[in-house]
Amino acid sequence: MEVIIRPSADSANELTARLIADAIRERPNIVLGLATGRTMERLYARLAEMHIKDKLDFSLVTTFNLDEYVGLAPEDPNSYRFYMNKHFFDKINIRKENTYLPDSCAKNLEEECLKYERKVKSVGGIDLQLLGIGVDGHIGFNEPLSALLSRTRVKALSPLTIKQNSPLFTPPSKMPRRAITMGVGTILDAKRLIMLVTGRAKAEILAKAVEGPITSMISASALQLHPKCTIITDEDAASLLKEKEYYYWIFNNEPEWEIYRSI
């Protein structure tokens, strides 16, 4: 695991966008794993801007999203399919038929989860998985006590997740209590992981996930096991990390980061 600390949320976002854009240019038919949430909105806006201004080509890209609320149709404004179309897919030249989210309205949800796993495997797996982190340390909807070898499945949402996300629904009581999510094991199968974390509200949980023990109570802590995982954070979110001096040293001295130091 590498932790890269940038001065601001904007510079953390820009670095993440540059890494994804460079990965697409290097491999135009890349398979991306995508996340949702407020942190990702600015990232997707920047990637869409790169598509327009820099001709970043998404035409051969395949995507798989981490999760979807159970029971929400794709046209529901609170569904993650709606979110992805609004914030990203409708703004770039990606082929919608190559963008995948779990079908949370399927009659047989268990079979849908198995089908999703098979589809990921059929394209050779995920090359680069983008992640955020919840305030309780979840990745995807892998809530506390999620097995670290778990696969795509239906997961009951925690009271904290419901409290955080329900204000986005009108009325809040309409928020589903379950979601289909890639498992922790599914996420760890990706060839490369990038987790973007910004804001002081995420400082405590980021420190636990990065520098604390690996535990099913904080599913993001399992990222410590991955051979190619990069955490990109701003100074606010990194404020409680104990090894900040070393993390700054990595970015300022390792050759792989030289071309990004001007960001």
Q: Is 236 a catalytic residue?
A: no
- Cβ burial, residue 130 (10 Å; 0-12/13-18/19+): buried
Q: Strand 67-69 relative to strand 178-181: parallel, antiparallel, unpaired?
A: antiparallel
Given the residues 67, 103, 112, 189, select the one marked as catalytic. Answer: 67
Catalytic residue among 138, 189, 234, 235: 138
Q: Which of 14, 103, 112, 143 is catalytic?
A: 143
- The number of helices, as runs of H, and strands, as runs of E, in the chain is 8, 10
Told to judge if 67 belongs to the known catalytic residues of this protein, a careful annotator would answer yes
CA-to-CA separations, 95 to 35, 43, 50, 89, 99, in angstroms, rounded: 18, 20, 17, 8, 7
Active site residue 235: no
DSSP H helices, 27-158, are 38-54, 80-87, 109-122
Cβ burial 240-258 (10 Å sphere, 16+ → b, else e): bbeeeeebeeebeeeeebe
143 has catalytic annotation: yes
Select which of 136, 204, 236, 243 is catalytic: 136
Q: Which residues are catalytic?
A: 67, 136, 138, 143
